[in-house]
Structure 1
Amino acid sequence: MRLLFEASAPVRATLPQVQRLIDDEWVLTTMLGETGRAYVDVDHRDGTVGFQGHWWYRGEISAAESDAETLVTYRVYNIARRAAWAVPLANRLFIGYARGVREAAAGIAQAIENHLAGENPATD
């Protein structure tokens, strides 16, 4: 398993609040939607959700404390056992992929904040 891309984004929430949303699969459903889940295998470790699809892809979302906030991190791995060298070619040399990973991390962080604000309007 080789790390290809990693991006983090801050969330104005406590680590337990964010980990709860990761652990109960709210984050995964928000990121993939209901139909996207049909195409991936999902596994959990406390505070981390991993999802694999295609012949090469593994994504992981986790959270960690950072100063007065929580950082949500999205990692993309190459898990190809054979022809791992072909992964960049199959993905157009990953042009624009790093930006997409950064945007996905920022989007899920914002979605978490919005969700938590809706649960508890006093949280801002």
Structure 2
Amino acid sequence: MVEVAGVVEAPPERVLAAVARDTGWRRDGDTVWAQGGWWYRGEYLVSPAAGGSRVVHRVFNVARSPVWTVALANRLFIGFRERTRDGVGALLARVGEELGCAARLT
């Protein structure tokens, strides 16, 4: 449904650990994830990148019901992409502050 990416200028293992601490989500390999409610699954994938780590946040609709029911329940997702981007930007800023490095959305 939504994908937002950014860069943190620190090694992937440190970034992954910081994302897991900040979110309180489960960690599995290079992914931090959570399944919430009846439709939501969020994942942060951390991979090596020039100068540090690339962080990709993805939101999936995992509902077994028709897509329109999820859209109605979420007010047609109006503003959802922007709120998600803002939230990921704030997370990256906190991670960068914790690790003492630059972090930004791409």
Cα deviation for residue 12 of structure 1 reads: 1.6
State which of 9, 13, 22 in structure 1 corresponds to 2:6. Answer: 9
Change beyond 3 A, Cα 1:50–1:74: same
Return the index of the structure with the highest Cα Rg. 1
**Does structure 1 retain, via aligned residues, the 8 Å contact 2:16–2:32?**
no
Percent of matched pairs sharing the same residue = 31
**Does structure 1 retain, via aligned residues, the 8 Å contact 2:44–2:56?**
yes
TM-score (norm. length: structure 1): 0.72
In the alignment, the residues of structure 2 paired with residue 63 and residue 86 of structure 1 have an alpha-carbon distance, to the nearest angstrom, of 31
Q: Which amino acid aligns with 2:68?
A: W
Q: Which amino acid aligns with 1:19?
A: L
How many equivalent residue pairs? 102
State which of 94, 98, 101 in structure 2 corresponds to 1:115. Answer: 98
Residue aligning to 1:26: 21
Q: Higher mean Cα deviation, 92-101 or 81-90? A: 81-90
Q: Which amino acid aligns with 2:7?
A: P
Residue aligning to 2:41: 58
Unaligned runs of 5+ in 1: 30-41, 118-122
State which of 51, 54, 79 in structure 1 corresponds to 2:62. Answer: 79
SS of aligned partner of 1:85: helix
TM-score (norm. length: structure 2): 0.83
**Does structure 2 retain, via aligned residues, the 8 Å contact 1:61–1:73?**
yes
In the alignment, the residues of structure 1 paired with residue 36 and residue 70 of structure 2 have an alpha-carbon distance, to the nearest angstrom, of 13
In the alignment, the residues of structure 1 paired with residue 57 and residue 76 of structure 2 have an alpha-carbon distance, to the nearest angstrom, of 20
Cα deviation for residue 65 of structure 1 reads: 1.9
Unaligned runs of 5+ in 2: none
Q: Which amino acid aligns with 2:22?
A: V
